């Protein structure tokens, strides 16, 4: 059809079969020529298209052509049809989402979306679904939404895909059009429906519970697709829309997981899918693969599982490698549910282990890793190590080495095996090995297990094995391995009574002399030598060591040797500094250096100048020198708030700079996360030096080791069959029985071997704080007197820099909270009774008192300066269906002072009524629930029970029993709630059960809607604190909100409204910028920076939680829209 192109072939394509050096020269030349041509004004659009294609070519070959980016945007703007399309294409290839030039594209997209030419609309939608600046989504959103109703399917389809992209970029922007997605799902055209599935897959992954009602729709769609109801052109090799089927199966999998009722809806269609896929084509296997996963994920049905297992057999037994690979992948997935399936295919798996294709081997090892237990660990680890020895790939080595170490630690049958395996890991892993493996290993050795005797044996075995390894000459060991060896020898050589310490020192000394050891390793070795000297009185080697390293060029080694000299001379110090077998006790450092206080006081008394921290000295020097300052000036609001007038878009980070920071050495704050953590550390070093500590009685529970249950292989049946087979096959059978031991059905308990703690050999003692396995930890536990360099000097710096600024609290000119509420028009939507912040126009607002700047964030509400918004008189505003006044509940006095909502009837019948009231306390949302007995008889054994979802957390129990409620009486219960996961709206459900006299128990369900705003509280900060906090928060969202008013007061009005409606705290308003802070209970803070310019309010939110900014922005949007 389109055979010969009118364009001239790019010259570089013509000669592209050339050597690389020539290629570079040619392309550089071509780029230069193109650069000239694109900037020539006479270049026609057609030529420009050609140029851009060539530029695409250059970038594809790895040569940046950034000069052409702007021309791509221009071509998209000016060209028509094909030129325009190529312009858009080049833009999508050249730029990424954050590129600033992308903003220039927005107008073009807007224009093309409104074009009458369908092709242009198509292009605009395509590019919008490839990349679009997130800030500008609101500009095109209405146009894209409009296209959902377009008469052409292709436009509707592309509009859905663009919305999908917008959802990826900024989920909160498309929150309001979820209904339209449903419409797209029901579109008469299958293409549009298929496009909407991408959005649904994402939505359902995030919240499977919210879309269960769509299950039957998805099932119906899949039924129609499988049944061949689609047009023939959707077929691929006579299989109807295979990729669509795959997508639907994935969605069903998410919906049916852990949900029997939903799963039952899909059994039929899964059965049919498994049956239909009998054509022997790759694509049917691809569908089958998804089917198998779905069947094994949803609530199980025996019949289906059997069929799926049979299908899986087809994969594994296939001679085609692609299918075999997929079969192994499916099997590793399936065994999470059913280990027995592995047994069916054990011989095939054995064959795959020796497969010539390494990727199949890898996948097999992955499978074996998942079925490892205490009985087959030796064989499996052996196979993994074999693979490791052949593999050269760094990525694979790292991941596999980690797995071997994990398995060895969990299931090691004997000490010898464990040490040998770890030795293999260290030598095979070489220097690629991640640091946490040796660290974990050493920690394991040092901290030991529950059995003292076994610990000793393990350590002794390690010592023996390392000594044997060091005997061998001319073998090069990786650095990490050498470090491990020297640490172990230094710590535990004393266990080996028959060896002479000086011999070990000798061999370590020899090691030290070898140039192959890195500096870090040498420090390890030296510290081991030092430790060994405490075991021996024979210091024959000492002079040699001191001579070699006493004047070493390396300062670290030199220092080590001096320390060694001192320690050897004074055995007493040696024994206190390097006690035997105490590597697990922490060294305590008095970081405040309080023992120097006397010295400092003396010095000051003698007229010494007080200490000034480094930065202070520098500043003073700077101010003296009066040199030009090349640094940008920090915004110092405390001194002159006028400075930060509206100069461009300034980030509030500038607020944090403050020049007056003084420091107090004894209170040097160690809160800085970078500095040493000293909480709970015993004090060992004091004024007099080392403080001797009392010997603590060891509370080591000596538990008997888990006797390795002698589980004989349940493969007697397999073994029987082996008779009469060739030797090779017998070998395989043997391997099979050793690999799959412990997986049989009569051994079900150990199926879960990996999670089962009893089979875990090296269980860590509980005292160990997990997650602290960083390198430093090991460093600190080893009492090495020669820590690697560069660790010590940092300490001082950190201490100094983290000093709290103890500045005089500058009275901040805080804007009073809406002190005259008349200024702020508050509307009164009567129907939204639950939004009590709007509900009363009698808002009595208590002024926020400017609080001292030293106030810490945690103690925000300690001083009680809480913006309290009290509805004027609540009771008079009770809803119509309120029962007579004697029954109407009254809020206890202690809550009346807090702001609270109206009473709401949550559930009622002829006998009882439940009213709720939200009380917005400082530290929680208090739900007060009133249980009213309306009947004329008494109610007994009433219980109110709240069911909490993940999002919410209650302070105490959620059950409230009321043994007896008299007729016409009201009792109350209260529930303190905090929001753990931010979300715009959450339902608090629950039920109340009660007995009426002796009759049957009655149950009533109820539900209460809670909103994000219920949990938002003001966060009182000063501008400085705001600045500091702003810098420490990482999740941010920016958004421009259009704003009708353009008066100079607009920002103040907007912020005050936000303050009222959302309970935010206005920290400061300067010119056209304002900073606002709030927190989500219990303690997630969120900071807002608002800037008003030309009718646009730019809001920039930051928080420590990634979801909160989105949710809060949504609330702000709602409030601002109402203005």
Partner 1 sequence: MKYCERKIKRNTIYLSSEVTNMIKFFLLVNKQGQIRLSRYYEPMEIHKRTLLEVDIIKNCLPRTKDQCSFVEYKDIKLVYRQYAALFVVIGIDDAENELAVYELIHNFVEVLDKYFSRVCELDIMFNLDKVHIILDEMILNGRVVETNKSRILVPLLALDKMTES
Restricted to residues 300-339, the positions that interact with partner 1 (CB under 8 A) are: 321-326, 329
Interface residue with partner 1, options 132, 167, 931, 1006 (CB under 8 A) = 167
Residue 396 interacting with partner 1 (CB under 8 A): yes
Query: Of 164 and 426, which has the nearer Cβ to partner 1?
Result: 164
Residue 236, interface with partner 1 (CB under 8 A)?
Answer: yes
Tell me which residue of 855, 805, 807, 775 sits closest to 672, measured CA to CA: 805
349 CB burial (10 A radius; 0-12, 13-18, 19+):
buried
Q: Does the protein bind partner 1 through residue 290 (CB under 8 A)?
A: yes
One of 104, 106, 246, 587 touching partner 1 (CB under 8 A): 246
Could you give phi then psi for residue 1070, rounded to 5 degrees?
-130, 115
What is the rounded distance in angstroms from the CA atom of residue 758 to the CA atom of residue 763?
9
Q: Give me 77's structure tokens.
A: 């703007």
Could you tell me the sign of the dihedral formed by the alpha carbons of 766, 770, 774, 776, in that order? negative
- Using an 8 Å Cβ cutoff, are 855 and 1020 in contact? yes
Contact between 53 and partner 1 by CB under 8 A: the answer reads yes
DSSP secondary structure letters along 809-864:
PPPP-PPPSSSSGGGS-----TT-TT-HHHH-S--EEPPPPPPPTT--STTTTTT-
Tell me the torsion sign for CA atoms 500, 520, 468, 780: positive
Q: Which of 178, 238, 243, 580 binds partner 1 (CB under 8 A)?
A: 243
The only residue of 38, 341, 484, 1037 in contact with partner 1, by rule CB under 8 A: 1037
Name residues contacting partner 1, limited to 925-984 (CB under 8 A).
none
Nearer CB in complex with partner 1: 305/398: 398
Tell whether residue 561 is a contact of partner 1 (CB under 8 A). Answer: no
- Kind of pairing, strands 239-240 and 685-686? unpaired
1033 binds partner 1 (CB under 8 A): no
Which residue, 417 or 1114, is less far from partner 1 as judged by CB? 1114
Q: Which is nearer to partner 1, 321 or 718 (CB)?
A: 321
Q: Which is nearer to partner 1, 416 or 1036 (CB)?
A: 1036
Which CB atom, from 8 or from 727, has the smaller least distance to partner 1?
8
The verdict on 354 binding partner 1 (CB under 8 A) reads no
Per-residue three-class SS string for 698-721: CCCCCCCCCCCCCCCCCCHHHHHH
Contacts with partner 1 by CB under 8 A: the residue count is: 90
CA distance 873 to 896: 10
Residue 134, judged by CB atoms within 10 A of its CB (0-12, 13-18, 19+), counts as: middle
CA dihedral 855, 861, 866, 870 (to 10 degrees): 180
Question: Which CB atom, from 170 or from 655, has the smaller least distance to partner 1?
Answer: 170
- Using CB under 8 A as the binding rule, the residues of this chain from 750 to 789 that contact partner 1 are 771, 774
Give the x/- contact pattern for partner 1 in 96-135, rule: CB under 8 A.
xxx--------------------x--xx--x--xx-----
CB of 530 to partner 1, least distance (A): 31
Within 1102-1121, which residues bind partner 1 (CB under 8 A)? 1106
Q: Per CB under 8 A, does 171 bind partner 1?
A: yes
Smaller CB distance to partner 1: residue 15 or 823? 15
Which x/- pattern, by CB under 8 A, does the window 191-210 give for partner 1?
x--xx--x--xx--xx----
**Residue 520 within binding range of partner 1, rule CB under 8 A:** no
With respect to partner 1, which residue has the nearer C-beta, 90 or 784?
90
Shortest reach from residue 362's CB to partner 1, in Å: 6
The pair phi, psi for residue 991, each rounded to 5°, is -145, 160
Beta bridge partners of residue 995, listed in sequence order: 940, 1001
Stretch that binds partner 1, among 11-19, 632-640, 650-658, 910-918 (CB under 8 A): 11-19
SS3 label, residue 726: coil
Q: At its nearest, how many Å lie between partner 1 and the CB of residue 589?
A: 23
Q: Report in angstroms how near the CB of residue 83 gets to partner 1 at its nearest.
A: 9
**For partner 1, the closer CB: 17 or 472:** 17
Smallest gap from Cβ 622 to partner 1, in A, equals 34
How many other CB atoms sit within 10 Å of the CB of residue 970? 19
* 148 binds partner 1 per the rule CB under 8 A: no
- Tell me how crowded residue 327 is: count the other CB atoms within 10 A of its CB: 28
Does position 22 interact with partner 1 (CB under 8 A)? The reply is: no
d(CA 742, CA 749): 9
Q: Footprint of partner 1 on residues 257-286 (CB under 8 A)?
A: 282-283, 285-286
In 106-204, the DSSP E strands lie at none
Cβ 900 to partner 1, closest distance in Å? 35
**Bridge pairing between strands 952-954 and 904-908:** unpaired
Segment near partner 1 (CB under 8 A); pick from 78-86, 594-602, 794-802, 860-868: 78-86
Whether residue 730 contacts residue 347, with contact meaning beta carbons closer than 8 Å, is answered with: no
Q: At what angle do helices 358-370 and 394-411 cross, to 10 degrees?
A: 30
Q: Please tell me whether residue 16 binds partner 1 under the rule CB under 8 A.
A: yes
434 binds partner 1 (CB under 8 A): no
Q: Please tell me whether residue 679 adopts helix, strand or coil conformation.
A: coil
Q: CA-CA distance, 774 to 521, in Å (whole number)? A: 18
The residue range among 82-90, 405-413, 544-552, 692-700 that interacts with partner 1, by the rule CB under 8 A, is 82-90
CA–CA distance, 1003 with 1011 (Å, rounded to integer): 26
CB of residue 53 vs partner 1: minimum separation in angstroms? 5
Query: Is residue 13 a contact point for partner 1 (CB under 8 A)?
Result: yes
Q: What's the rounded Cα separation, in Å, for the pair 897 and 870?
A: 8
Stretch that binds partner 1, among 52-60, 370-378, 448-456, 926-934 (CB under 8 A): 52-60
- Quick one: which of 359, 749, 937, 947 contacts partner 1 (CB under 8 A)? 359
CB closer to partner 1 out of 599 and 775: 775
Sheet with strand 952-954: strands edge to edge: 904-908, 912-920, 925-933, 970-979, 952-954
Q: Is 89 in the site for partner 1 (CB under 8 A)?
A: yes
Nearer to partner 1, 242 or 478 (CB): 242
Among 157, 247, 245, 258, smallest CA distance to 201 is for 247
Stretch 1005-1024 residues interacting with partner 1 (CB under 8 A): none
């Amino acid at each position: 059809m389109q055979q010969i192109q009118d364009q001239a072939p790019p010259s570089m394509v013509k000669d592209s079969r050339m050597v690389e050096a020539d290629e570079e020269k040619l392309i550089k030349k071509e780029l230069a020529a193109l650069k000239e041509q694109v900037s020539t004004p006479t270049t026609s659009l057609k030529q420009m298209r050609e140029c851009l294609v060539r530029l695409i070519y250059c970038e594809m070959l790895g040569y940046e052509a950034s000069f052409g980016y702007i021309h791509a945007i221009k071509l998209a703007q000016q060209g028509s049809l094909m030129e325009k399309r190529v312009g858009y294409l080049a833009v999508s290839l050249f730029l990424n989402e954050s590129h600033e030039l992308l903003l220039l594209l927005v107008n073009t997209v807007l224009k093309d979306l409104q074009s009458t030419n369908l092709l242009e609309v198509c292009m605009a939608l395509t590019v919008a679904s490839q990349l679009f600046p997130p800030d500008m989504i609101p500009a095109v959103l209405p146009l894209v939404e409009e296209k959902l109703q377009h008469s052409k399917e292709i436009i509707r389809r592309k509009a859905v895909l663009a919305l999908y992209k917008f959802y990826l970029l900024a989920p909160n922007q498309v929150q309001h059009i979820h209904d339209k997605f449903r419409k797209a799902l029901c579109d008469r055209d299958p293409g549009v429906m298929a496009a909407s599935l991408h959005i649904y897959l994402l939505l359902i992954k995030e919240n499977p519970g919210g879309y269960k009602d769509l299950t039957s729709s998805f099932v119906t769609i899949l039924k129609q697709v499988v049944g061949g109801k689609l047009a023939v052109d959707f077929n691929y090799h006579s299989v109807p829309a295979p990729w669509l089927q795959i997508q639907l199966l994935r969605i069903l999998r998410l919906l049916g997981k852990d949900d029997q009722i939903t799963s039952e809806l899909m059994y039929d269609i899964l059965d049919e899918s498994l049956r239909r896929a009998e054509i022997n084509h790759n694509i049917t296997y691809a569908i089958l693969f998804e089917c198998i996963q779905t069947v094994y994920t949803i609530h199980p049905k025996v019949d289906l599982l059997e069929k799926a297992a049979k299908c899986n057999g087809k994969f594994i037994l296939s001679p085609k490698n692609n299918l075999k690979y997929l079969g192994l992948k499916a099997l590793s997935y399936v065994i999470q549910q059913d280990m027995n399936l592995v047994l069916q295919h054990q011989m095939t798996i054995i064959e795959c282990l020796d497969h010539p294709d390494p990727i199949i081997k890898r996948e097999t090892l992955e499978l074996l890793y998942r079925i490892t237990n205490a009985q087959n660990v030796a064989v499996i680890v052996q196979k993994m190590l074999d693979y490791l020895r052949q593999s050269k790939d760094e990525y694979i080595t790292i991941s596999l080495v980690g797995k071997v170490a994990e398995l060895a630690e969990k299931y090691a049958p004997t000490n010898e095996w464990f040490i040998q395996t770890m030795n293999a890991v260290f030598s095979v892993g070489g220097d690629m090995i991640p640091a946490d493996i040796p660290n974990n290993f050493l920690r394991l050795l040092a901290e030991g297990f529950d059995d003292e005797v076994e610990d000793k044996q393990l350590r002794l075995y390690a010592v023996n094995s390392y000594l044997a390894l060091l005997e061998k000459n001319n073998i090069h060991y990786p650095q990490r391995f050498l470090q491990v060896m020297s640490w172990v020898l230094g710590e535990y050589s004393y266990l080996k009574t028959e060896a002479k310490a000086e011999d070990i020192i000798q061999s370590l000394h020899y090691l030290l002399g070898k140039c192959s050891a890195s500096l870090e390793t040498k420090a390890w070795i030296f510290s081991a030598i030092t430790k060994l000297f405490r075991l021996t009185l024979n210091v024959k080697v000492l002079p040699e060591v001191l001579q070699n390293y006493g004047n070493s060029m390396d300062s670290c080694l030199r220092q080590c040797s001096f320390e060694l000299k001192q320690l050897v001379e004074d055995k007493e110090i040696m024994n206190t500094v390097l006690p035997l077998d105490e590597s697990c006790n922490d060294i305590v450092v008095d970081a405040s250096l309080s023992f120097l206080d006397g010295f400092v006081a003396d010095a000051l008394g003698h007229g010494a100048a007080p200490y000034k921290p480094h930065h202070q000295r520098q500043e003073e020097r700077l101010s003296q020198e009066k040199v030009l300052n090349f640094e940008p000036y920090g915004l110092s609001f405390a001194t002159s708030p006028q400075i930060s007038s509206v100069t461009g878009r300034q980030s509030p980070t500038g607020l944090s700079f403050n020049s007056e920071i003084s420091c107090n050495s004894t209170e040097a704050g160690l809160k800085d996360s970078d500095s040493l953590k000293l909480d709970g550390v015993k004090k060992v070093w004091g004024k007099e030096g080392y403080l001797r500590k009392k010997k603590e009685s060891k509370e080591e529970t000596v538990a008997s080791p888990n006797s390795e249950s002698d589980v004989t292989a349940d493969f007697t049946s397999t073994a029987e069959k082996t008779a009469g087979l060739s030797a090779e096959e017998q070998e395989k059978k043997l391997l099979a029985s050793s690999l799959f031991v412990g997986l049989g059905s009569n051994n079900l308990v150990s199926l879960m071997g990996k999670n089962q703690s009893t089979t875990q050999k090296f269980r860590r003692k509980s005292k160990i704080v997990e997650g602290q396995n960083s390198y430093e930890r090991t460093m600190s536990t080893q009492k090495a007197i020669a820590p690697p360099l560069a660790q010590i000097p940092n300490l001082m710096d950190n201490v100094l820099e983290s000093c709290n600024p103890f500045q005089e609290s500058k009275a901040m000119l805080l804007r009073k909270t809406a002190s005259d509420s008349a200024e702020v028009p508050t509307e009164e939507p009567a129907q939204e009774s639950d939004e009590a912040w709007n509900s009363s126009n009698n808002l009595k607002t208590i002024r926020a008192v400017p609080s001292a700047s030293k106030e810490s964030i945690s103690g925000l509400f300690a001083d009680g300066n809480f913006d309290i918004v009290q509805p004027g008189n609540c009771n008079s505003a009770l809803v119509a269906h309120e029962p007579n006044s004697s029954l109407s509940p009254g809020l206890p006095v202690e809550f009346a002072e807090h702001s609270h909502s109206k009473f709401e009837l949550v559930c009622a019948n002829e006998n009882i009524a439940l009213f709720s009231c939200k009380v917005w306390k400082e530290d929680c949302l208090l739900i007060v629930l009133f249980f009213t007995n309306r009947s004329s008889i008494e109610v007994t054994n009433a219980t109110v029970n709240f069911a909490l979802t993940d999002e919410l957390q209650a302070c105490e129990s959620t059950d409230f029993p009321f043994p007896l409620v008299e007729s016409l009486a009201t009792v109350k219960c209260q529930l303190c709630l905090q929001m753990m996961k931010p979300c715009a709206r959450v339902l608090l459900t629950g039920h109340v059960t009660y007995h009426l006299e002796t009759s049957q128990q009655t149950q009533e369900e109820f539900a209460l809607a809670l909103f994000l705003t219920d949990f938002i509280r003001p966060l009182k900060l000063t501008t400085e604190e705001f600045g500091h906090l702003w810098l420490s928060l990482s999740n941010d969202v920016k958004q421009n909100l259009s704003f009708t008013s353009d008066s100079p007061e607009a920002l103040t009005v907007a912020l005050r409204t936000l303050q009222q409606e959302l309970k935010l705290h206005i920290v400061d308003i300067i010119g056209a910028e304002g900073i606002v802070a709030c927190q989500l209970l219990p303690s997630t803070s969120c900071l807002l920076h608002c800037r008003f310019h030309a009718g646009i309010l730019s809001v920039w939110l930051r928080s420590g939680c990634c979801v909160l900014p989105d949710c809060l922005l949504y609330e702000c949007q709602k409030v601002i829209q109402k203005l």
